[in-house]
Amino acid sequence: MELTWIKLLVFMACLSFPLMVECRDRHYKFDVVLKNISRLCDTKPIVTVNKQFPGPTLYAREGDRVLVKVVNHVKYNLSIH
Ligand SMILES: *[C@@H]1O[C@H](CO)[C@@H](O)[C@H](O)[C@H]1NC(C)=O
Ligand SMILES: *[C@@H]1O[C@H](CO)[C@@H](O)[C@H](O)[C@H]1NC(C)=O
């Protein structure tokens, strides 16, 4: 309920002050790949996003639309939080 109100307010703010509140679409692509890392004598696979672990930080403002295209190159199903 509250979230809907906030969305509505942001939407109205975007309509009224398009220059003040910049609402935009942000597109990101995640390439999810399994990578072996060696730490001490141990090598183990970790899931990386765009060759990074932890994954990349997404930047967005209130009212932005964030579109993430996730390409899973890992042979099992996974979820992204
Ligand atoms: C990671 O190591 C495993 C086992 O040693 C190997 O089968 C696999 O191909 C390696 N993967 C990569 C991405 O290097
Ligand atoms: C991944 O998820 C899909 C859809 O839920 C399912 O059909 C498939 O069997 C799963 N694959 C594995 C390797 O768990």
Ligand 2 within 6 A of 76 CB? yes
Tens-place pLDDT, residues 43-72: 999 999 999 988 899 988 889 999 999 999
Whole-model pTM? Answer: 0.65
Ligand 1 within 6 A of 45 CB? yes
Out of 7-11, 57-61, 77-81, least confident range: 7-11
Q: What is the DSSP string of 30-63?
A: EEEEEEEEEETTEEEEEEEETTBSS-PPP---TT
Domain 23-81 has CATH 2.40.50.100: no
What's the gap in Å between 79 CA and the centre of ligand 2? 12
Using the atom order of ligand 1, give the atom closest to the CA of residue 36: 1
